[in-house]
Amino acid sequence: MGSGTSDDTGAQTPRREPPIDWPVFGITALVLGGVCALIFAAPARAGAFINQLYDGVTHNLGFLYQWYVIGLLIFLGYIVCSRHGSIRLGGRDCKSDYSTLSWIGMIFCAGVGATLIYWAVVEWAFYIDAPPLGAAPRSTEALEWAATYGIFHWGPVGWAIFCLPTIAIAYAFYMRGEPHLRLSSGCLPFLPGGVGSTRARIIDFIYMANLIGGGATSLGLTAPMIAGIFAKIAGVPHDFALEATVIGISVLIFGASSWLGLERGFKRLSDANTWIALTLLFYIVAVGPTLFILQMGTNSLGLMLQEFVRMVTWTDPVERSGFVESWTIFYWAWWVAYGPFVAIFATRISRGRTLRELILGLLVFGTLGAGIFYIVLGNYAMNLELTQTLSVTTLIREHSGPYALAEVLATLPFPTLTMLGFLVVAAILMVTTYDSASFTLASVASRDIRAGEDPARWNRVFWAIAIGIPPIALLFVEGGVKVVQSATVVVSLPLLAVGVLLALSILRMIREDEAAGRL
């Protein structure tokens, strides 16, 4: 990306930087600072209060998330199968800005991040002793569900949640000429005052709060994982200082990536990471229990396809084991919180794609990408447990998930090299995720962003640094990550109502444009 543009005389003119929307920028920054201050001032009381809200929301209103995703899957199926699926963002003759492989890689990296590696390795271990759907602990049925439920949680439902705001925002941006890359842009038919209205600012503030909270959750999980792998390689203690150092270095790295700009920073990293990650997964399949990985992976895909409707609608009304609330509802809320973030970034890179391409690209390739991680990493770790080579569940119970992950990697041939490979993949996933997060936060805090433009550099760097503040503050709080996860679920609840507005807005905008002959 160049630093300027040329006029007819060949002279360089400065690239236009969109102006800042100071009310949105200022209010969000102040609230972020205030929340972090409260964490330091009264961590125990704040954590207890948020956890109480979490319990109330998940147990009493969790079914709303399930009905939301059911309606969402039906709605997206209608768009794909109808004539609306052929609508091309930017017009009939608009060409795509990126190759299909680069486009898929960028969306995948932005959508899942380094937390995918963590959960792919250890999530099954939380299920075999407390399995879903009434299975007996550590039974064959429990093992099969444990290997399947992670793929389900990171599968079509999650990516469908990403699709809805992406379609709404992208349609308004490319087909209606709306210059604002904001969540409220997708609700314009129901915002008479436009994106500058009070209602619109409330929607955008909720989005930014969700992204910062969700980002803190992800970084709060990723930093201990990277610190644990590094501690294992270097033979140093895994302590508070190491985790704080990891977060600090990470903030500096994705701050620099934000300064470089979208194409020079994020695209190069995501392109490289796609191939590094696939190489690492292929290596584990080759040197690990190949037959078990492939057989259990095939079994899990078949089980998920066969029982998909049951898994989506299971509320555990009789036994009330807490599995649905602790895992499925949390995951849906987390995806809802992250949905606008991925949507705004996906909009920026999806000019020239049809709505059908956009939906199927997210659903199919996102699910396959996440599923591959779970099939390879999760089943390798599960095999260690079943063959009594390494008790992963004991390590998690007596130490932590990141500690168990490092020990799992240490069982592979050439463990130091393997752990270094994981360290690189995790770091790149984290950097690219937060590079795109700073981009989308800066976009919301900007006015009049035109197609092809990026927010001001200093604006992107500010939010890249701001995202790193909550995880650092939470290092001082016992159970801090759980508190942020709880806060993410609580704050994401209003986004369900926003999602309904987005679906209605999409249909209204398409209907109006068809009536006016613009499609």
298: CATH: 1.20.1730
pLDDT for 3 beyond 70: no
Name the least confident of 92-106, 260-274, 324-338, 378-392.
260-274
Does any domain span residue 434? yes
pLDDT-derived band at 2, boundaries 50, 70, 90: very low
pLDDT-derived band at 391, boundaries 50, 70, 90: very high
Average pLDDT, integer, range 361-370: 86
Distances (CA, A) of 317 to 59, 308, 347, 415: 11, 18, 39, 45
How many Cβ atoms are within 10 Å of 333's Cβ, its own excluded?
28
pLDDT for 480 beyond 70: no
Does any domain span residue 305? yes
Does any domain span residue 3? no
Nearest alpha-carbon partner for 373 in 287, 300, 277, 272: 277
Does any domain span residue 373? yes
Judge residue 44's burial from the number of C-beta atoms within 10 Å of its C-beta, 0-12 exposed, 13-18 middle, 19 or more buried.
exposed
pLDDT-derived band at 285, boundaries 50, 70, 90: very high
pLDDT score for 84: 94
Nearest alpha-carbon partner for 154 in 323, 332, 310: 332
Does any domain span residue 128? yes
pLDDT-derived band at 485, boundaries 50, 70, 90: low
Number of domains in the chain: 1
- Mean pLDDT over each residue of the chain, to the nearest integer: 85
Secondary structure class of 156 (helix, strand, coil): helix
Does any domain span residue 503? yes
Does any domain span residue 343? yes
Expressed as residue numbers, the domain containing 492 is 18-515
Cβ proximity of 74 and 354 under 8 Å: no
Does any domain span residue 7? no
Average pLDDT, integer, range 306-314: 96
pLDDT-derived band at 163, boundaries 50, 70, 90: very high
